[in-house]
Copies of this chain bind each other. A is one copy, B any other.
Protein backbone atom coordinates (compact mmCIF):
# COMPACT_ATOMS: atom_id res chain seq x y z
CA UNK A 1 0.00 0.00 0.00
CA UNK A 2 1.35 3.44 -0.89
CA UNK A 3 1.96 5.63 2.09
CA UNK A 4 -0.52 8.49 2.20
CA UNK A 5 2.32 10.69 3.38
CA UNK A 6 3.86 12.04 0.23
CA UNK A 7 7.45 10.99 -0.14
CA UNK A 8 9.52 14.14 -0.48
CA UNK A 9 11.80 12.49 -3.05
CA UNK A 10 8.87 12.62 -5.43
CA UNK A 11 8.65 16.38 -5.17
CA UNK A 12 10.57 18.77 -7.34
CA UNK A 13 13.67 20.19 -5.72
CA UNK A 14 12.56 23.79 -5.95
CA UNK A 15 9.61 25.28 -4.14
CA UNK A 16 8.71 23.41 -0.96
CA UNK A 17 5.18 24.15 0.01
CA UNK A 18 3.79 24.33 3.50
CA UNK A 19 2.22 20.93 2.82
CA UNK A 20 5.58 19.38 1.98
CA UNK A 21 7.07 20.74 5.18
CA UNK A 22 4.20 19.30 7.20
CA UNK A 23 4.54 15.91 5.47
CA UNK A 24 8.10 15.75 6.71
CA UNK A 25 7.10 17.10 10.11
CA UNK A 26 4.48 14.39 10.73
CA UNK A 27 7.04 11.69 9.90
CA UNK A 28 9.75 13.24 12.05
CA UNK A 29 7.38 13.89 14.95
CA UNK A 30 6.07 10.32 15.03
CA UNK A 31 9.55 8.87 15.38
CA UNK A 32 11.59 11.54 17.15
CA UNK A 33 8.85 13.41 18.96
CA UNK A 34 7.05 16.72 18.61
CA UNK A 35 9.44 18.36 21.00
CA UNK A 36 12.42 17.56 18.83
CA UNK A 37 10.72 19.20 15.91
CA UNK A 38 13.12 22.08 15.78
CA UNK A 39 12.89 24.58 12.96
CA UNK A 40 16.56 23.92 12.17
CA UNK A 41 16.34 20.14 11.94
CA UNK A 42 13.15 20.25 9.92
CA UNK A 43 14.70 22.75 7.51
CA UNK A 44 17.58 20.29 7.02
CA UNK A 45 15.16 17.40 6.49
CA UNK A 46 13.05 19.26 3.93
CA UNK A 47 16.06 20.89 2.34
CA UNK A 48 15.12 24.54 2.72
CA UNK A 49 16.61 27.37 4.73
CA UNK A 50 15.56 28.12 8.28
CA UNK A 51 14.38 31.53 7.17
CA UNK A 52 12.27 29.86 4.45
CA UNK A 53 10.70 27.70 7.11
CA UNK A 54 10.14 30.68 9.41
CA UNK A 55 8.12 32.23 6.58
CA UNK A 56 5.61 29.41 7.10
CA UNK A 57 5.77 28.92 10.88
CA UNK A 58 6.66 31.74 13.22
CA UNK A 59 7.47 29.59 16.23
CA UNK A 60 8.11 26.02 17.29
CA UNK A 61 4.70 25.85 18.93
CA UNK A 62 3.00 27.06 15.76
CA UNK A 63 4.87 24.36 13.84
CA UNK A 64 3.86 21.70 16.38
CA UNK A 65 0.19 22.69 16.18
CA UNK A 66 0.25 22.71 12.37
CA UNK A 67 1.94 19.29 12.42
CA UNK A 68 -0.79 17.86 14.66
CA UNK A 69 -3.45 19.26 12.32
CA UNK A 70 -1.65 17.75 9.32
CA UNK A 71 -1.43 14.38 11.11
CA UNK A 72 -5.15 14.52 11.91
CA UNK A 73 -5.96 15.20 8.25
CA UNK A 74 -4.00 12.05 7.30
CA UNK A 75 -5.62 10.09 10.13
CA UNK A 76 -9.07 11.21 9.01
CA UNK A 77 -8.39 10.12 5.46
CA UNK A 78 -6.93 6.74 6.37
CA UNK A 79 -8.71 5.69 9.57
CA UNK A 80 -11.93 7.70 9.83
CA UNK A 81 -13.09 7.80 6.20
CA UNK A 82 -13.64 4.00 5.93
CA UNK A 83 -15.91 4.12 8.98
CA UNK A 84 -17.87 7.01 7.44
CA UNK A 85 -18.45 4.77 4.42
CA UNK A 86 -19.74 1.96 6.66
CA UNK A 87 -23.26 1.77 8.06
CA UNK A 88 -23.44 3.84 11.30
CA UNK A 89 -23.47 1.63 14.39
CA UNK A 90 -21.73 -1.69 14.85
CA UNK A 91 -20.39 -1.88 11.27
CA UNK A 92 -18.78 1.53 11.71
CA UNK A 93 -17.22 0.48 15.05
CA UNK A 94 -15.59 -2.52 13.39
CA UNK A 95 -14.51 -0.40 10.41
CA UNK A 96 -12.88 2.10 12.77
CA UNK A 97 -10.99 -0.61 14.65
CA UNK A 98 -9.89 -2.40 11.49
CA UNK A 99 -8.78 0.77 9.72
CA UNK A 100 -6.81 1.79 12.82
CA UNK A 101 -5.03 -1.58 12.89
CA UNK A 102 -4.44 -1.37 9.12
CA UNK A 103 -2.85 2.04 9.48
CA UNK A 104 -0.46 0.55 12.04
CA UNK A 105 0.32 -2.38 9.71
CA UNK A 106 0.93 0.00 6.80
CA UNK A 107 3.12 2.30 8.91
CA UNK A 108 1.23 5.33 7.72
CA UNK A 109 3.19 7.12 10.43
CA UNK A 110 6.57 5.47 10.93
CA UNK A 111 6.27 5.60 14.73
CA UNK A 112 2.84 3.91 14.86
CA UNK A 113 -0.17 5.94 15.96
CA UNK A 114 0.83 9.59 15.72
CA UNK A 115 -1.52 10.62 18.51
CA UNK A 116 -0.49 7.85 20.90
CA UNK A 117 3.13 8.96 20.44
CA UNK A 118 2.22 12.61 20.86
CA UNK A 119 0.09 12.04 23.95
CA UNK A 120 2.85 9.98 25.59
CA UNK A 121 5.35 12.70 24.85
CA UNK A 122 3.27 15.68 25.92
CA UNK A 123 1.40 14.18 28.89
CA UNK A 124 3.28 16.23 31.47
CA UNK A 125 3.42 19.48 29.48
CA UNK A 126 0.20 21.46 29.77
CA UNK A 127 -0.40 24.03 27.06
CA UNK A 128 -1.88 24.52 23.61
CA UNK A 129 -0.10 21.48 22.12
CA UNK A 130 -1.36 19.09 24.78
CA UNK A 131 -4.82 20.70 24.51
CA UNK A 132 -4.90 20.02 20.77
CA UNK A 133 -4.02 16.36 21.35
CA UNK A 134 -6.70 16.11 24.06
CA UNK A 135 -9.27 17.52 21.61
CA UNK A 136 -8.34 14.84 19.10
CA UNK A 137 -8.62 12.18 21.83
CA UNK A 138 -12.07 13.47 22.79
CA UNK A 139 -13.27 13.37 19.19
CA UNK A 140 -11.86 9.86 18.74
CA UNK A 141 -13.58 8.41 21.80
CA UNK A 142 -16.73 10.42 21.10
CA UNK A 143 -16.96 8.85 17.65
CA UNK A 144 -16.84 5.37 19.19
CA UNK A 145 -19.46 6.31 21.75
CA UNK A 146 -21.87 7.66 19.11
CA UNK A 147 -21.55 4.57 16.93
CA UNK A 148 -22.04 2.33 19.96
CA UNK A 149 -25.18 4.29 20.91
CA UNK A 150 -26.48 3.66 17.40
CA UNK A 151 -25.58 -0.01 17.72
CA UNK A 152 -27.52 -0.15 21.00
CA UNK A 153 -30.53 1.57 19.40
CA UNK A 154 -30.30 -0.95 16.55
CA UNK A 155 -30.50 -3.78 19.07
CA UNK A 156 -26.93 -4.89 18.33
CA UNK A 157 -26.02 -4.28 21.97
CA UNK A 158 -28.08 -4.92 25.11
CA UNK A 159 -30.18 -1.96 26.25
CA UNK A 160 -28.28 -1.83 29.57
CA UNK A 161 -24.80 -2.09 28.03
CA UNK A 162 -22.26 0.23 29.71
CA UNK A 163 -20.99 2.10 26.66
CA UNK A 164 -18.27 4.02 28.50
CA UNK A 165 -16.80 0.71 29.64
CA UNK A 166 -16.98 -0.58 26.08
CA UNK A 167 -15.23 2.52 24.68
CA UNK A 168 -12.58 2.11 27.40
CA UNK A 169 -11.90 -1.50 26.48
CA UNK A 170 -11.84 -0.95 22.72
CA UNK A 171 -9.61 2.10 22.98
CA UNK A 172 -7.32 0.11 25.30
CA UNK A 173 -6.98 -2.71 22.77
CA UNK A 174 -6.13 -0.30 19.94
CA UNK A 175 -3.71 1.73 22.05
CA UNK A 176 -1.96 -1.45 23.16
CA UNK A 177 -1.81 -2.68 19.56
CA UNK A 178 0.07 0.52 18.74
CA UNK A 179 2.48 0.09 21.64
CA UNK A 180 3.12 -3.62 21.29
CA UNK A 181 3.38 -3.57 17.48
CA UNK A 182 5.73 -0.61 17.39
CA UNK A 183 7.93 -2.25 20.04
CA UNK A 184 7.88 -5.88 18.85
CA UNK A 185 7.26 -5.25 15.12
CA UNK A 186 5.33 -8.53 15.03
CA UNK A 187 2.23 -8.56 12.78
CA UNK A 188 0.75 -11.23 15.08
CA UNK A 189 0.06 -8.40 17.54
CA UNK A 190 -2.33 -6.81 15.05
CA UNK A 191 -4.14 -10.08 14.46
CA UNK A 192 -4.44 -10.62 18.22
CA UNK A 193 -5.90 -7.13 18.52
CA UNK A 194 -8.38 -7.77 15.69
CA UNK A 195 -9.60 -10.92 17.48
CA UNK A 196 -9.67 -9.14 20.84
CA UNK A 197 -11.90 -6.37 19.47
CA UNK A 198 -14.40 -8.92 18.13
CA UNK A 199 -14.27 -10.96 21.34
CA UNK A 200 -15.01 -7.82 23.36
CA UNK A 201 -17.95 -6.86 21.13
CA UNK A 202 -19.34 -10.40 21.28
CA UNK A 203 -19.07 -10.37 25.07
CA UNK A 204 -21.19 -7.18 25.18
Residues on A facing B (Cβ under 8 Å): 31, 110-112, 116-117, 119-120, 123-124, 133-134, 137, 164-165, 168-169, 171-173, 175-177, 179-180, 182-184, 192-193, 195-196, 199-200, 203
Among B110, B120, B169, B177, contact of A120 (Cβ-Cβ < 8 Å)? B120
Residues of B within 8 A of A124 (CB): 31, 110-111, 182
List chain B residues, Cβ under 8 A from A203.
Answer: 203
Give 17 new A-B contacts, CB below 8 A, not counting A134-B184, A165-B192, A172-B176.
A116-B179, A119-B179, A120-B183, A124-B182, A164-B192, A168-B176, A168-B193, A168-B196, A169-B173, A169-B196, A169-B200, A171-B176, A171-B180, A172-B196, A175-B176, A175-B179, A203-B203
Bound state CA distance, A165 and B192, in angstroms?
A: 7
Q: Separation in Å of the A199 CB from the closest CB of chain B?
A: 7
Give the residues in chain B near A192, CB-CB below 8 Å. Answer: 164-165, 168
Stoichiometry, copies per complex? 2
Shortest C-beta distance, A77 to chain B (Å), equals: 24
CB distance from A192 to the nearest CB of B (A): 5
Cβ contact of A172, chosen from B123, B137, B173, cutoff 8 A: B173
Q: How far is the CA of A116 from the CA of B116 in the complex (A)?
A: 12
